[in-house]
Structure 1
Amino acid sequence: MDSKPSPNGSFLKHSTTLTNRQRGNEVSALPATLDCDNLINKPDERGFTPLIWASAFGEIETVRFLLDWGADPHILAKERESALSLASMGGYTDIVRLLLDRDVDINIYDWNGGTPLLYAVRGNHVKCVEALLARGADLTTEADSGYTPMDLAVALGFRKVQQVMENHILQLFQRTLGPADPE
């Protein structure tokens, strides 16, 4: 690279790399047009779409991009895995909220009866459990193992998750019963 002093006395380095046009290369074919609708929801051999993969790995910006470009958050993989369940499993609360804003089934179950709430509990993801409960996740759904989310929290010794669920149940009772009558 050539070096020449700039007006302020420092040296600027000029690139000696040639561009394709400078080399005389020309475009031999126009780029193929992509059918974004088919690609954005195209499943792999497991049935995972780009959105399911991005949700599973906590890639929130990718999830936002895919949703903005029309990715379908309702698609299930071959064993009924969902973007919501995998985001819950990883404890990616912001992704869980984004998916719930798209009206996905909050109580969707997969091949072994796991639901997003059960996966969030199993992973001890307190914030994720709170977000799912706030949006109406069913506390009574059992996995194929017979565990409800509360059973699972107790069995695994996850006291904070258990406390979140207990507080949620108390709030539900208070709403159902209404204010106490003063005597």
Structure 2
Amino acid sequence: MNAKLLMWAAPALFLAIATPVAAQQQSESYKFLQAVKDAKGNDVIAMLDKPGSSIVNARDINSGEGALHIVVKRGDETYLRYLLQKGADANIRDRNGNTPLILAVQGGQRDMIPILAAAKANPNLGNQSGVTPLILAVQGRSIDMVRLLLAAKADPDQADVMAGLSAREYAAQDTRNTAIAKLFDETPKRTRAAVSGPRL
């Protein structure tokens, strides 16, 4: 093979070697997420038990959903606990910025809140609109979930992006459910650290 031909063939040879590895990894991620969706426990366990496996935080290339999003939507606490024990990121976000905690509140899965909180889920992570789990709980008028989120250190004064309102402000506006507003009245405002910067 002459030098010119080798120069042209080398990139193609590199692609032929590299592509199967990338495709295999993508394929493994797809298979894992599909096994979680189909609740194929033995397959999920086998994939996560492979030495050096980091597939637990694989995300769907279209929706950005990870395994935790799938099991939270399904309301599957057993799977949720298992995946968290295997190192799943409790703060993983889908393409809309939704965390498992946001989805738990949206789906009315109150018992998942303490499970996620114990796994260091941040209750103050909002989605792309800045909507936090606590804002969603207020809008859904769920005093139980509001209490659980406050216990997990959710900030009632963190505003969303769209309306610029906090959970406390949404509760104050809702005249049909004054119990949550009363609960916030008993919750002191947090002292926020001053923004450091040059003094004039």
TM-score range (shorter-chain normalised) is 0.5 to 0.7
Q: Which residue does 2:159 correspond to in 1?
A: 142
> Unaligned stretches of 5+ in structure 1?
1-30, 173-183
1:125 CA displacement: 1.5
Between the aligned partners of 1:161 and 1:119, the Cα distance in structure 2 is: 12
SS of residue paired to 1:141: coil
Query: C-alpha root-mean-square deviation of aligned residues, in Å?
Result: 2.5
Matched, 1:110 2:127: yes
Deviations 1:41-66 (A, max 9, x none): 22222111121122234322221122
Matched, 1:166 2:185: yes
1:103 CA displacement: 1.3
Q: Which residue does 1:27 correspond to in 2?
A: none
Structure having the higher Rg = 1
Deviations 1:122-179 (A, max 9, x none): 1112111101112221111111212211221233332222222222239x8xxxxxxx
Tell me the matched-pair count: 141
Contact 1:57 1:87 in 2 (8 A): no
Relative to its length, the structure with more strand (as a share) is: 1
Between the aligned partners of 2:146 and 2:96, the Cα distance in structure 1 is: 23
Q: TM-score, normalised by structure 1?
A: 0.67
Relative to its length, the structure with more helix (as a share) is: 2
Q: Which residue does 2:57 correspond to in 1?
A: 41
Higher RCO, 1 or 2 (CA under 8 Å, sep at least 6)? 1
> Unaligned stretches of 5+ in structure 2?
1-42, 191-200
Between the aligned partners of 2:109 and 2:179, the Cα distance in structure 1 is: 17
Q: How does 1:58-137 map to 2 (within 5 A)?
A: 58-137=75-154
Between the aligned partners of 2:55 and 2:112, the Cα distance in structure 1 is: 21
Q: TM-score, normalised by structure 2?
A: 0.62
Tell me the percent identity.
25
Contact 1:90 1:120 in 2 (8 A): no
User: Following TM superposition, where does structure 1 have runs of at least 4 consecutive aligned residues deviating by more than 4 angstroms?
Assistant: none
